[in-house]
Amino acid sequence: MRNAPAFFCLLILATSSAWAADLPSVAPADAGFSAERLERIDQTLSGWVEEGKYAGVSAAIVRDGKFLYRKSFGQRDLSTGAPMAEDTIFRIYSMTKPIVSTAVMMLHEQGRFLLDDPVSKYIPGFEDVRVLADESRDGADAATVPLDREITIEHLLTHTSGLSNSAAYARENVFDRSLPLEEMARRIVTVPLAHQPGRGWRYATSIDVLGRLVEIWSGQTLDVYLDEAIFRPLRMSDTGFWVAADKLSRAAKIDTLDENGKLVPFPRAADPGQKPAFFSGGGGLYSTVGDYARFAQMLLNEGELDGVRLLAPKTARTMRMNHVAPDVLPENGPNGRVGYGFGYGGAVLMDVAASQHLTSKGEYNWGGMAGTYFWIDPVERVIGLYFVQRPPFIPQPPKTFKTLVYQALVQPSR
């Protein structure tokens, strides 16, 4: 074939282009939003950057599957001056959890397990894990008691497993990032639980264990399964556990505030270009606003996007409903989210008045340690995305962004 090299180059470009995708855009007025009121978002987010609170911010609003607002402010890298942009790649930390929970439910639909199955059915040792006799004492010599019930898959999905003895995990090096998930699962059962399964809500390491279970059920490593089952079907071409060399220039640097309130490099930031040995289902992914919007829209569409169905509608609705009893939830809600319960991988709004958020009952949300945050509003058919890179996660900025989104929504659902 005389033009074979050119032909194959075109084929590669076409294949790459077919994988990458973005939700369409619409004028704010056509989506029921006031363009004038949306300018308040510009003023607030750009103001935070000018004040030195953040190096950069990227935010977006989606309604009915279309971007009506998508802007970036500031820089993704203070050392180079590279601007924040629509295609900037962020470490999303715990926003990995809804994605891995989706993978779990996809495998559940295939009959690989039942939600009330004990974890020990798939990972030996979980049947014998001990429990702290006193939650306030977690030293090496702390007294323990036996399980009064085993940890189930649903306990993991809802953070009610008791796998939250963080000080002991650090002491025993359970989460050694140089080792694979199989070794983490072997080590974690040697550490006592913080409480009996199902008797408390503690945000911690449950989804990392689910990541290992995904590997067992699928027969693939977590990175490969997520790529083949979720990222490629949804055309999330910039999402993964590391950033490819040809995309590293788009990765945002992670900053933090020093004792003087000045932005400085975050000392515990991982190298985004390094493929990890440990694929953290609880917080290991990188992604973009555009990619995550596609994932969120799939959940809002009850499991389907652009003709590709990952979940049945019943399964998607089950993920976005509360599964934790009021007497098990913390008094101030999951991670300080007053008025919220918890579904599979994310918080679910139960009491709008108690939350003091301008939003709707049934909203599903979660955030990441470096400040990324998203929510899905099934009543208004709205998705909000607020991405920054500055640990620790602070609730006030995304809550302010959410207020600014809803004050601009002038044609709400009836």
- C-alpha to C-alpha distance for 253 and 118, rounded to whole angstroms: 40
- What does DSSP assign to residue 246? G
pLDDT in tens, 208-263: 999 999 999 999 999 999 999 999 999 999 999 999 999 999 999 999 999 999 99
Structure tokens at 290: 């555009």
Provide the whole-model pTM.
0.94
Q: For residue 397, give the 3-state DSSP assignment.
A: helix
- Dihedral sign for Cα 203, 291, 302, 403, please: positive
For residues 312 and 6, the model is more confident at: 312
Instruction: State the CATH number of the domain containing residue 63.
Output: 3.40.710.10
Nearest to 32 by CA among 60, 71, 66: 66
Of 178, 202, 218, which closes a domain? 218
Picking from 218, 247, 279, the residue at the C-terminal end of a domain is 218
Whole-number average pLDDT of the chain: 94
Q: What percent of the chain has pLDDT over 90?
A: 92
- Asked if residue 368 and residue 306 are part of one domain, the reply reads yes
Q: How many domains does the chain have?
A: 2
- Same domain? For 293 and 189 the reply is no
| DSSP helix/strand/coil, 237 | coil
Query: Which pLDDT belongs to residue 7?
Result: 38
What's the CA gap between 7 and 208, in Å, rounded? Answer: 43
Q: Is the pLDDT of residue 149 over 90?
A: yes
User: Cα(93)–Cα(108) distance, rounded to whole angstroms?
Assistant: 24
Q: For the segment 52-79, what is each residue's pLDDT rounded down to a tens digit?
A: 999 999 999 999 999 999 999 999 999 9
Judged against a pLDDT cut of 60, whether residue 356 lies above it is answered with yes
Nearest alpha-carbon partner for 106 in 192, 226, 8, 208:
226
Of 174, 212, 210, 214, the closest CA to residue 192 belongs to 174
* pLDDT tens, residue by residue, 257-308: 999 999 999 999 999 999 999 999 999 999 999 999 999 999 999 999 999 9
pLDDT of residue 363: 98
Residue 12 has pLDDT above 80, yes or no: no
141 pLDDT tier (thresholds 50, 70, 90): confident
Task: Give, as one character, the DSSP assignment of residue 393.
Answer: P
pLDDT value, residue 11: 39
* pLDDT above 90 (res 179): yes
DSSP H helix total and E strand total for the chain: 12, 16
Stretch 39-48: mean pLDDT: 98
Q: Is residue 10 part of a domain?
A: no
Q: Which domain covers residue 234, as residue numbers?
A: 22-101+222-407
pLDDT digits (tens, 9 = 90+) for 13-33: 344 445 668 999 999 999 999
d(CA 209, CA 224) in angstroms, rounded, equals 17
Query: What's the pLDDT tens digit per position in 327-354?
Result: 999 999 999 999 999 999 999 999 999 9
**191/289 same-domain check:** no
